[in-house]
Amino acid sequence: MIPISWYLIVAAALFSIGLFGVLARKNAVAILLGVELMLNAVNINLVTFWRYNAPETVTGQVFAIIVFAVAAAEVAVGLALIISIYRNRKTVVADELDMMKW
């Protein structure tokens, strides 16, 4: 059967890819995509540890579901912000949104 380390490595890799997306992409929507990847990586970890360490309880799954809800809320607000910014500044490139600089 599949050892637990495999899942954890996949999750770590997915997390790092998401991190890369967040740091390196220009488009603000793409940054949010990266955040979604990171959240998914976390969820894989939660479900994995549930399955391997405590299958008789449901705690891991419940946490995963809460993460879903948080992700949905985050995407809704994040995309609304991006659309609002786009309407005002005609751009979604993160580097050009530097009104807050010195």
Instruction: Considering only residues 59 through 98, tell me which ones interact with another protein, judged by CB under 8 A.
Output: 61-62, 64-66, 68-77, 79-84, 86-88, 90-95, 97-98
Q: How many CA atoms lie within 13 A of 67 on its CB side?
A: 19
Using rule CB under 8 A, residue 40 touches another protein:
yes
Using rule CB under 8 A, residue 42 touches another protein:
no
Rounded least distance, CB 14 to another protein, Å: 6
Question: Residue 30: which of 92, 95, 98 has the closest Cα?
Answer: 92
Q: Where are the beta strands (DSSP E) in 41-98?
A: none
- DSSP-derived 3-state class of residue 26: coil
Rounded least distance, CB 72 to another protein, Å: 6
Using rule CB under 8 A, residue 52 touches another protein:
yes
In this structure, the chain runs to a length of: 102
Using rule CB under 8 A, residue 15 touches another protein:
yes
